[in-house]
A and B are shown apart, each in its own frame.
Chain A
């Protein structure tokens, strides 16, 4: 089974801190994604990556950056955390399938609270 591991289940940070959220997948997937989940808003895409050292902005990239130095690892960085970034963060990976309509495999999420 594919495993997507997020480094922390719960994280509490202070406003202005630099925050790193780490995600590792063990199935050699090319694609990796970061979503944030907020009640009533569903999952919104922050950034995604189709290859090592490659990144593309999603729908809500403001205030975030990402790093993908190795194929299995995709990091989300909050340069200066703010209270409106308090949320559940979900990492996902996928591999291009037939017709590039591939299944996403999600991690269990990191609940980030910014005080």
Chain B
């Protein structure tokens, strides 16, 4: 089955700096790569996703890049703010006729220091 590795496990950045989280996946058939953000006491929420036919996607201060050849994808957060402090999860899945079974990475705890 699919295996997703995520690094680093913790990341501390100064407010205003950039943060980068990297994930690798094992199944070359995977074609959907979402990122979820989990704030304290809440369930994860989707913040951005990318499909295998796209190399990069941006949404305001966050961007995701995908390298299918190397089987890795990354989340970039620019101009970090205190509200970016959270746990971030990457995930991967294959297109299916019914349902979307995601395999998640181990998570990255991001702390933005004011």
Interface residues of A (CB under 8 A from B): 4, 31, 35, 39-45, 48, 50, 58-59, 90, 92, 94, 96, 99-104, 106-109
Q: Which residue of A lies closest to B4 (CB)?
A: A42
A103 to B46, CA, bound (A): 7
How many inter-chain residue pairs (CB < 8 Å) link A and B? 69
- Write out the residue numbers on chain B whose beta carbons fall within 8 Å of the beta carbon of A109: 43
Interface of B, helix, strand, loop or mixed by DSSP: loop
Give the Cβ gap from B105 to chain A, nearest Cβ, in Å.
5
Interchain CB contact (< 8 A) of A100 among B41, B49, B95, B104: B95
Q: Which residue of B lies closest to A102 (CB)?
A: B100
What total of chain B residues lie within 8 Å of the partner, measured CB to CB? Answer: 30
Chain A residues near B25: list those with CB within 8 A: none
| Chain A to chain B contacts (Cβ below 8 Å), 26 pairs | A31-B100, A39-B107, A40-B106, A42-B105, A42-B107, A59-B1, A59-B103, A92-B43, A94-B100, A96-B98, A99-B95, A100-B96, A100-B97, A100-B98, A101-B93, A101-B100, A103-B34, A104-B46, A104-B100, A106-B36, A106-B44, A106-B45, A107-B43, A108-B41, A108-B42, A109-B43
